[in-house]
Every structure is written in C-alpha cells, then in structure tokens.
Amino acid sequence: MSRQIGDVILDLQSISLRFGGVKALTDISFDIREHEVRAIIGPNGAGKSSMLNVINGVYHPQDGKILYRGVERKKMEPHMAASTGIARTFQNIALFKGMSVLDNIMTGRTLKMKSNLLLQALWFGPAQKEELEHRRKVEEIIDFLEIQHIRKTPVGRLPYGLQKRVDLGRALAMEPQILLLDEPMAGMNVEEKQDMCRFILDVNDQFGTTIVLIEHDMGVVMDISDRVVVLDYGKKIGDGLPDEVRANPEVIKAYLGAGH
Amino acid sequence: MFYRENGQFKTTYAADQQIFTIAQDKWFVLGVIAFAFLVVPMLADEYMFRAILIPFLILSLAALGVNLLVGYCGQITLGAGAFMAVGAYAAYNFLIRIDGMPLIAALLLGGLVSAGMGILFGIPSLRVRGLYLAVATLAAQFFCDWAFLRIKWFTNDSASGSVSISELNVFGWIIDSPTEKYLFCLAFIVLFAIIGKNLTRATIGRQWMAIRDMDVAAEVIGIRPMYAKLSAFAVSSFFVGVAGALWGFVHLGSWEPAAFSVDRSFQLLFMVIIGGLGSILGSFFGAAFIVVLPIFLNQFLPALGSLFGIAISTAAVSHAELIIFGSLIVFFLIVEPHGLARLWAIAKEKLRLWPFPH
C-alpha cells in the first residue's frame, strides 16, 4: 500500500455527553490519525453513533475538547463541521428520497458551489458552467461506485444495498478529509459487504481519506481497520491494533459476558 | 408510438441537463406556449379571458410560488394570501407614490417587498415545522388582513378602503383589452415558470429538496438550514407577491383587503396539493382544476338536469357545485395523493413503452 499514516488529525480529549440524567459518553479520549482506517466497535447502546454525532457537530458534548489538526474546535453546527471536511453516512440510510441518485450525489457538492441565486434562476454563465463542472465530478464518483445504470432512478426505489452505496457516494462528493461511516455494512449479504469493503479501502487508498468506521461485523473490522477503539456503556474499554483489542480481556468480557 | 427517446443520444452533460431531455417534450411544451400566445387570443371571447384564462394564469403563478415552498422545500404555509396582498399593496404604493415608476418595475418591487415579508414570517420555520409552522404562517395572514384594513397609509387614505389602478401602461403600451391583459399575464407566467424550473434544477433547488426529504442529513453535508429555508420563503413569496400584484392590477383593477383573505391561502394550498407537490407543471394543473372545475360544474349541472327533464335552480347548482367539488378533491387525494402531475408522469411513462407493458 502506498498510503502513509500521518499525524493526528482529530484528537478527542475526555469527551462526556449527557442527555438529562442519561450518560451517553463518559470521559472518552482517543485520536484519529490522517489516512488511517479507525474503527469504533462496541455492543448495542455503547455510544458509538453518539460519538460520531459529536465528531460532526450534531451533538455538543458537555465536557471535553476536540482538536482538529491541532486547533481546538469551538462548539459547532453540523454544516460547519461539513465545511471543515468531515462527511458521514448514516446507519439508517438518510438519503433524500424524492430525488434521483444523481441529484443526491450532486447535493453533496453543495459546499463547493458558489454561484448566486440570480444566476441560478437564469441558468446563465457561471451558474451553468459550475453545474457542468460538478456534474463531471459526480460522474467520476458514480463510475467509482459502479452505479452508472441507476443514476436517474429516484433513490426511494432502489434496493437497500444500492442505497447504502449512494449514501457513500453523497459523502464522497464532499471530498472529505475525514469520512465517518456508521455501520456501512449492516444488513448486507456477503457479496455486498465485499463490495463495500472494496470501496472503503479504495477511498482510503486512492484519495487518502481518513476513515472512521462503526461496524458490528468483527471479521470486517479486524480485516480493514488500522486501529480499533472499543466502547461499552459510554466508556472506552479498549484501544489499539486489531490484534491487541481482540486479546483484551475487558473487550472479551463486554462482548461475551463475565462468565466466559 | 411517437413518444420515444430512441436515437436521441446525449454526448455532453449540458445536453443531459436541459429542462426537457426528451425532444418530444420540448416540442410539445413549445407548441403549447406558441398556441397560448398566437392561437388562443383569436379563439377566446371576453368572458373566457376575464373569468377563466386570466385568473387561471395568475393563480398558476401564485401556486407555483407556493409549490416552491411547500412542494420543494417542505415548509407548509397558510399565508400565501397575505403575501399576495403584500405584493399587490406594495406595488400599488410604489406606483402612486413615485412619479414615473414603470409598471413592470412596480410589480417586481411589490414582489420584492413580499419576499422580505416572506423572510420575516419564515423565521419561525427555523424552530417549528409541520402543523405548527402552518399556524405560524397563518399569523402573517391575519396580520396583513388587519394592516391593510386599518392602516390607512397603505390604501392611500381612500375612504372606502378600496384602491384602484387607473390604467396599465407598459412603456407606452396601454393594456386595456382582455386580450392584452391575457398576453401580459402569459408573458409573466412563462418567464417565471422558466425561472422556477431553473431554480429547482440548480443547487438551491437541491438544497430545498434536501431539507424537505431529510433535514439532519442535509445539514451534515453542509447545507445551512437557515439559508435554505429562508431563501425558499423569499423566492416563494416573491412569486406569490408578483402574482398578487398582477391579481390586483390586471385581474381586479380595484380591490379591497378581502380579495386576499385566508380563503385565498387555502385555495392556493389546495391547488398545490391537487396539482402535485414538487412539480412545476403540477402548479398549472392544480390552478386549472380549481379555477375551471367550478365554472364547468356551474354550466354543466343545469344542462345535465334538463337532459333528465329536471329544472335545477341556481341555488341548488351552487350547492351541488361545492359538494361535487369537495368530493372530487377527496377522491383525487385518495386515488393519487401525489397529484395530477403524477398522473401525467405515469401516463408519459406508459406512453414511452406503448404498446408494450414493460
């Protein structure tokens, strides 16, 4: 592999998140290095999705700091996180159901489109040129994900596996620095999982995108991730290389129960 | 048989991003526009213009505006009538208070003022949605009803509270015959329909639809909800405001605040729902349905009665009109909740494959 794991790009320091009396995350610290595939695993309700929501600004932790490229990040809204280069996909697909595949992925380019409302209204000059430029980029993504045949289909009509792929495409259209994937392989069969793994590894390899991955399929996690962090009941119980994590007694206890 | 896209290859993305990607669609729509401009003025009589065509065109424009907001951005509004009123009164004030104000500039400025009001009353949409937002926009309706009735400045201190436009002068062209009024409105509607279509296929339209379909995901990919929602309110109110100004200036000539009551707001919302949410064409279908059907029933019911030898009184006709109209709306919403535009789309889909089923 050509990719080189770089410096810490995102550093999370003692993050705590509460909803009223419920502690979703307690004092969690870990870092994400540039170009790596970082997996977050844990049993249901461990706080994995909450962690992603903290990273891209949907939830605001009560305590803790987030350093992005060494600079402390202020409290931010999701669209601001997006403009700093953080993209994500969703556990329960959150595509724009009424729009075609093409439009969904084009929507991912929103931040890069600058022409003003008046020019768009007239479909004139820079607005039209911009639209074409971004169409070209989007077509590259469509080629990459091998979904040329469905580009004009409304996403609501697509089978689940393809919807997941479009979801990934929409996130890729943002040309993100960090890509957060929330269970990209949930509910897929073996072939679909293999395809998805291939796409994830290709994205990581070709574009150098840092990937943060939540996944329940341990085979997949152990195979494709560089480092793994394990959460349980909102606490971090393990962090390290896949093999280290696999051998960690606490992790085994969390997954298999104390009697093991 | 003739509606085929076979052999129409697109070699550039520009060709694939036209409004009508199928050549037959393009020629059909151009044909309809040409027909409306050239043939209709020769065929229609004065009653036809005054009672059907002009109201249909202006309400189509208003419905188009409402559709941009409700159908494309998913923000429900019950204040469309108010924004029509704002457009009409603002245009009126610009026209009478500034010397030498051209008519078209006054109409567009009326639209702009309405857009500003739209932004103001759209602010609640940042916090509330659905029915609660509908109630919030209803406030715009009651506020405007009150303001135009009570604040005499808006009506130029007219004693009766009604205002009137003496003559419509577009750069020396005096618009007084129904045919001219029709053509004037038609030009506006064609232009605004193209603008509406352009907006909805550009990035702003995608932002609106993204907010409509899944607002959390939209925000996560970098869409600012405030910008998307308020721009939808602004553009929508601009369209509705211009429609309101045309309604006052061209259709009514002189009007009172009651011309833009809450009934109008509901009517516009129904047009959009029946015509098809999220469809430019649907706005026209919806307006046609709501404007033409009552008139048609009005003419048709007595004829039907006399066929069976029953004389139906005018009172009975007007009651029956409401009953049938209401039940037709219910019927349509059950059979095709996506409106007439969806029926049209399904018909085209079938036609493309005809005579084969798949």
Q: For A78-88, how does the pLDDT look when each residue is reduced to its tens digit (9 = 90+)? A: 999 999 999 99
Average pLDDT over residues A167-180: 94
A232/A41 Cα distance (integer angstroms): 9
Cβ of B217 within 8 Å of Cβ of A99? The answer is: no
Q: Does A135 touch chain B (CB under 8 A)?
A: yes
What's the DSSP call for residue A228? E
pLDDT tens figures, A185-229: 988 899 999 999 999 999 999 999 999 999 988 889 999 999 999
A103 vs B contacts (CB less than 8 Å): 206, 209
How far is Cα A96 from Cα A103, in angstroms, rounded to an integer?
Answer: 9
Residue B244 pLDDT exceeds 60:
yes
Q: What's the confidence (pLDDT) of residue B315? A: 83
Closest CA to A229 of A240, A217, A214: A240
Do you know the residue count of chain A? 260
CA-angle at B48, arms to B45 and B49, nearest 5° = 90
What distance in Å separates the CA atoms of residue B16 and residue B201, rounded to the nearest whole number?
Answer: 12
Chain A residues touching B280 at Cβ < 8 A:
none
> Which chain B residue has its CA at the smallest distance from A83's CA?
B222
CB proximity B195 to A under 8 Å: yes
Is the per-residue pLDDT at A137 higher than 80?
Answer: yes
Please give the structure tokens belonging to residue B339.
Answer: 């409106």
Mean predicted confidence (pLDDT) in B61-84: 94
Count of beta carbons in the 10 Å neighbourhood of residue A208: 14
Does A136 have pLDDT greater than 90? Answer: yes
Min Cα separation B167/chain A (Å): 31
Mean pLDDT over each residue of chain A, to the nearest integer: 90
Q: Which residues contact B192 (CB under 8 A, 6 or more apart)?
A: B61, B64, B239, B242
Q: Give helix B80-97 / helix B225-246 axis angle, nearest 10°.
A: 60
Give me the amino acid identity at B143: F
pLDDT tens per residue across span B173-228: 888 889 999 999 999 999 999 999 999 999 999 999 999 999 899 999 999 999 99
What CA–CA distance (Å, rounded) separates B1 from B238? 41
pLDDT at B297: 82
φ/ψ (deg, to 5) at A235? -120, 150
Which residues 325-354 in chain B show a CB within 8 A of chain A? none
The Cα A200–Cα A37 span in angstroms is 9
Q: pLDDT at residue B85 above 80?
A: yes
- Which residue of B13, B202, B213 is in closest CB contact with A97? B213
H or E, element range at A58: none
Q: Tokens for B268?
A: 């516009």
Contacts of residues A113-119 at CB distance under 8 Å and 24 or more positions apart, as own/partner, are: A113/B203, A115/B202, A115/B203, A117/B199, A117/B204, A117/B231, A117/B235
Q: pTM here?
A: 0.91
Give contacts of A96 with chain B, Cβ < 8 Å. 209-210, 212-214, 217-218
Tell me: pLDDT of B1 over 70.
no
Tell me the pLDDT band of A259, cut-offs 50, 70 and 90. low
B347: Cβ contacts below 8 Å, ≥ 6 apart: none
Q: Which amino acid, B170?
A: V
Residue B318 pLDDT class (50, 70, 90 cuts): confident
The string of DSSP letters for B286-341 reads HHHHHHHHHHHHHHHHHHHHHHTT-PPPHHHHHHHHHHHHHHHHHHHHHH-TT-HH
Whether B278 and chain A come into contact, CB under 8 Å, resolves to: yes
Considering only CB atoms, A135 lies closest to which of B17, B195, B207, namely B17
Q: Is ipTM beyond 0.85?
A: yes
As a whole number, mean pLDDT of residues B226-240 equals 96
- From CA A7, how far away is CA A31, in angstroms rounded? 10
CB contact under 8 A, A58 and B213: no
